[in-house]
Amino acid sequence: MKIILSAIAALSASFAVLFPYLPWFKDRSAKKRRAARIGLLIVSLSCVSGFILSIYSFQKPDYSYLMNNLKEIFSYGNTGTFDKEMKTDSIDVDKELGIEAHELINKSKEYFVNGQNSFNSFNYREAIEYIKKSIDILPTMSAYLSLGTSYSFLYDNESAENTFDLGYKLSIKRNSNKFRAAFLGNLGLINTRKNKFNNAIKYLEEALNIHEQLKDSQGKASDYGNLGIVYEDKKDYQNSLIYLDKALKEFAKLKDKKSMAIQQGNIGNVYYDLAFNINDSDKLENPDSMKKALAKFKEVLSVFLEIDYKVGVAAAYRNMGKSSDWLGDYPATLEYYRNSYHYYEGMNNTSQLAKLSNDMGVVLRSLNRTDEALGEFQKATELKHDYADAWYNGACTYVFKGDTDKALTYLAKAIELDPSLKEYAKGDEELKSLINNPVFRNLVK
C-alpha cells in the first residue's frame, strides 16, 4: 500500500520552478569603479526562497536545486527527501535510534521543517539552529544539504564546506549516488568561492558523471552551469562559454525558460568580463564585448517581461545599467537603474535599493548633478546604515562641494565600517585637498 501511495504521490507531484535571486555585485566607489560580476547576479538573500527548483519523481530523491545570485546552483534538502530517507533500505532507523525511533524521527522532522520555514523566511541563522537540532537527533542527507546551503547563503564558506563534507560521507555510507552528486556539486561551488578552482572542477566533473549515469537532465544542466562559473572565475573564458552553452541547451530540453534566461545572463557576464583589461578590472579595453553583454541582458529582460517574472526584470534592468554605465551612456544608465529601483521597491528589497541609490549617486556625480548625488548617497546610508561605499562616496562628494566637516564625518563612518578604506583614501585624488587636515591624517593613520 505504501508503494502504491508513493507512486500516486510521485505521479501527482509537479515541478516548482522558483529561483532566489540575490545580487553579488561589488559596489563601485566614486573614485574607483569596481567591475561587478554582472550576469544577472541580482536579488538579495531576502528573495531567495521563492525560487527553488524542485524535482519530484518516484525513482529519485527529491532534493531541490536552489540558485544563489543567479549563478550558483546549490542542491537543497526538503521534506520530500527527508520522508524518503526514512523509507529507504539505506537507513535502519530502529537500529540508529532504538525503541523510541518513530517518536525521535517525528521530532527530528519537526526541527527540520522549522528550519525550512526559517530559511524560507530569509532567517538563515535561525534555520541553522533548527537544522542542527534535527541532525543531533538523526543525521540525514537532506538536513546536511539544507544546513550547508544555509551556511553558504551567509557566505560562511568554511562551515558550509565542513557540513557538505559530512553529508558526502553519509551519502557514501548510505549508498546514495543521487545525494553524493548533490554534495559533490555543492563542494565544487564552495571551492570556487575559495579560488580552489582545480578542486572545484574535480568535484563538479564527478557530480556530472553521476548525473549522466542517473540520466538526470536537471542535474547535468546544473553541473554544466556551475562548471561555467568555475571557468569564468578562473578567467578561462573559452571553457566558461562552452559549459554555459551546454547548460543552456540542457535547460532548453527541459523547456525551462527561467533557467535558460539565467544562462544567457551568465554568458553576458563572460562578455562583460572580457570587456576589461585582464590585469586591470577598472580599464575598459573592449567596448564591443561590453555591447554584447548589454545585448544579452536585454534578451534576458525580454524573457522575464514575457513570463512576468518581476525579480528577474529588476535584475536585468540593473545589469543593463551597469553595462551602459561603462559604455558612458549615463542617461540610459539612470533610466535602467530607476526601472530596477521601481521593481525592487515593490518587493521591499532594501539591500538592493541601497545599492541602486549608491550607483545612481555615482552616475549623477558623473553628470555634475552633485546635490542629487548627495541625496542618493544619503538615501543609501539610510537604507543600509553599514554601507561603507555609500559613506565613502558621500565623503568624496562633500569634498567636491567644499564641505570639509561633512566630508570627514562621512569618511570616518566609511573607515569605521571598512578599515581597508584607509589605504585607499590616502591615495585618492578626490580627497587630496584633505591631506594636511589633522582629522583626516588621524583617520587614515
pLDDT tens for each residue of 118-176 = 988 778 899 999 999 999 999 999 999 999 999 998 889 999 999 999 999 999 999 99
- Residue 69 banded pLDDT, cuts 50, 70, 90: low
Q: Give residue 17's Cα distance to chain centre.
A: 17
| Separation between Cα atoms, residue 297 and residue 228, nearest integer Å | 17
The C-alpha cell 563572460 sits at 270
| Separation between Cα atoms, residue 39 and residue 270, nearest integer Å | 8
| Separation between Cα atoms, residue 49 and residue 122, nearest integer Å | 7
Q: Is the pLDDT of residue 29 over 50?
A: no
Q: Is the pLDDT of residue 296 over 60?
A: yes
Percent of the chain at pLDDT exceeding 90:
69
CB 71 within 8 A of CB 101: no
Can you list the alpha helix ranges (DSSP code H) found in 88-216?
A: 93-97, 101-120, 124-137, 141-153, 157-173, 177-193, 197-213
CB 229 within 8 A of CB 71: yes
CB 364 within 8 A of CB 373: yes
Closest to 366 (Cα-Cα) out of 393, 405, 384: 393
**pLDDT, tens digit (0-9, with 9 covering 90-100), for 248-272:** 999 999 999 999 998 999 999 999 9
Q: Give residue 233's Cα distance to chain centre.
A: 14
Can you list the alpha helix ranges (DSSP code H) found in 257-387?
A: 257-274, 287-306, 310-326, 330-347, 350-366, 370-383
| Separation between Cα atoms, residue 339 and residue 326, nearest integer Å | 18
For position 99, what pLDDT does the model report?
A: 54
From residue 404, give the alpha-carbon distance in Å to each of 248, 409, 445: 53, 9, 18
Closest to 192 (Cα-Cα) out of 250, 145, 235, 151: 235
Q: In the numeric block, which cell numbers belong to residue 36?
A: 561587478
Domains in the chain, start-ordered, CATH in brackets?
A: 2-348 (1.25.40.10), 349-445 (1.25.40.10)
For position 279, what pLDDT does the model report?
A: 74
The pTM assigned to this predicted structure is 0.74
Q: In the numeric block, which cell numbers belong to residue 403?
A: 564641505
What average pLDDT does the segment 284-288 reach? 95
Helix, strand, coil in percent for the chain, rounding step 5: 70, 5, 25
Dihedral, CA of residue 57, residue 61, residue 65 and residue 66, to nearest 10: 120
310-333 burial code (b ≥16 CB/10 A, e <16): ebbbbbbbbbbbbbbbbbeebebb
Q: Is the pLDDT of residue 64 over 90?
A: no
**pLDDT, tens digit (0-9, with 9 covering 90-100), for 70-127:** 566 777 677 888 888 877 655 555 555 555 677 888 999 999 999 999 988 778 899 9
- Residue 430 banded pLDDT, cuts 50, 70, 90: very high
**pLDDT, tens digit (0-9, with 9 covering 90-100), for 171-204:** 999 999 999 999 999 999 999 999 999 999 999 9
What average pLDDT does the segment 345-370 reach? 93
For position 58, what pLDDT does the model report?
A: 27
The DSSP element (H or E) to which 275 belongs, if any, is none
CB 316 within 8 A of CB 31: no
CB 56 within 8 A of CB 6: no
Closest to 225 (Cα-Cα) out of 242, 243, 202, 212: 243
- Residue 47 banded pLDDT, cuts 50, 70, 90: very low
- Residue 42 banded pLDDT, cuts 50, 70, 90: very low
CB 299 within 8 A of CB 262: no
What is the overall mean pLDDT for the chain? 83
For position 98, what pLDDT does the model report?
A: 58
CB 286 within 8 A of CB 275: yes
Q: Give the single-character DSSP code of 30.
A: S
Q: Is the pLDDT of residue 375 over 60?
A: yes
For position 103, what pLDDT does the model report?
A: 85
Q: Is the pLDDT of residue 13 over 80?
A: no
Q: In the numeric block, which cell numbers belong to residue 132?
A: 542542527
For position 405, what pLDDT does the model report?
A: 96
